[in-house]
Amino acid sequence: MHCCVGLVTRRVLWWMRFVWMVMEANWWCLLVVLLGGVCVVSGQGTGQSCSRLDGTRGICVDLQECLSQGGSIEGATHVQLCSNRDFDRAIVCCRSSPATIARNMCAKWHQNRRQSGGGCSVTVPLVRGGQEARVGEFPHMVSLLQDTPRRGYRHVCGGSLIAPDWVLTAAHCIQNSRLWVRLGAHDLREEERGISLPVEVLNSIIHPNYKDQRRYNDIALLHLRHKAPITPRIQPACLPHSGRRVEGGVQMIVAGWGKTGLADPISDVLQKAKVRSISRLECALHKQLGLLGSTSISYPGGITDSIICLDEQVTGSCQGDSGGPLMLGRNGECAVEVVGLVSRGVSECSGTKVPGIYTRVEYFLDWIVDTIWKNEL
């Protein structure tokens, strides 16, 4: 008897939920559920802030308006709907596209730069085969450090400050050891004079699809324990948002404290070099691509869209540059976009026909934005 009562109760509750979904979500939520998806109807109405299933924030707007303005919903099978009694339309929890959020944050960094007294210092037409950067030329540059018992802080990789408390770098740079970053550095010896000081990394977030022996998805985010002070020498960089896609033949800049030659030590002073991209096809067909670094690291799927290849016959990256930014100048602005990360360079650190491999940041923009700017609408 109790079993039958329980069954009837569950059916009644199911039908009550069914009717409520129809009344509140105008069949949209029901359709998602029938297709095997997940749908949640919030109590917020049009124009109000809402929370999405992935933990990000959005605004309740009409579905057509959201999509026409370049906004995004979570997906066809995971939908956050807002309260609505108008049967002919769906009100969704809409969030701006990752490119729009990146563009808005870039504008914010420009405003901060003007307020802090930072000037226009990037010289795009100008590492290995490069030249010394000017003080403050790349205020987003970060030196990733390991705290060693005998040698103290040791530079291991480069990185880019992309928010006051977030750094973008390569996943293969992240080891199990305790990590720090040095902000606003030009000469790594400046710590001795108190000009640039290390900041502890609170949390390292490696891309979930990264595997060390296969360098796809070679990207990571470092959450700093403290927000960086915005000064002329410490400024976040812009992420790709202009729609300019890096294909073959694009002139860019790479910077870092890596070796300038195989027999040379890590450079104390930040270096920069002008580099040129090559097409995916040219890179994939390159006979010497397999000569890159260790044979235990491979690209079994070939050169995918997540990779940028560079011609490094004259200039390029070397040991110690890993994780550092590949930068594209922005027309009419004294700033750069970080379009790539040094993933894998040549081992001989001199003129070579072997392409340099870089992680394409644009490919991972959704992951970056949803990780560090969950509350940006």
What are the DSSP calls for 5-23, one per residue? HHHHHHHHHHHHHHHHHHH
What values do phi and psi take at 19, rounded to 5?
Answer: -60, -40
Question: Among 168-177, 230-239, 269-278, 338-347, which is the least confidently predicted range?
Answer: 338-347
In sequence order, what DSSP letters do the residues of 45-84 get, joined into one string?
-TTSEEE-TTS-EEEEEEHHHHHHTT-B-S-SSEEEE---
| CA nearest neighbour of 73 among 32, 102, 24 | 32
| CA nearest neighbour of 250 among 230, 225, 275 | 275
Strands (E), 217-264: 220-224, 251-256
The secondary structure element, H or E, covering residue 339 is: strand 336-344
Asked whether 66 and 92 are in contact (CB, 8 A), the reply is yes
How far apart CA 33 and CA 367 sit, in angstroms, is 26
Residue predicted with more confidence, 373 or 344: 373
Average pLDDT over residues 103-126: 70
pLDDT digits (tens, 9 = 90+) for 8-40: 566 655 545 544 444 444 445 555 544 445 566
Tokens describing residue 229? 């002070």
Q: How far apart are the first and last CA of the chain?
A: 52
| pLDDT over 50 (residue 245) | yes
Question: Among 42-56, 57-71, 265-279, 363-377, which is the least confidently predicted range?
Answer: 42-56
pLDDT digits (tens, 9 = 90+) for 264-276: 556 788 988 888 9
Question: Among 61-65, 112-116, 143-147, 296-300, which is the least confidently predicted range?
Answer: 296-300
The pLDDT score that the predictor gives to residue 284 is 83
- Any idea which residues carry the catalytic annotation? 172, 218, 322
Residue with token string 């039958």: 4
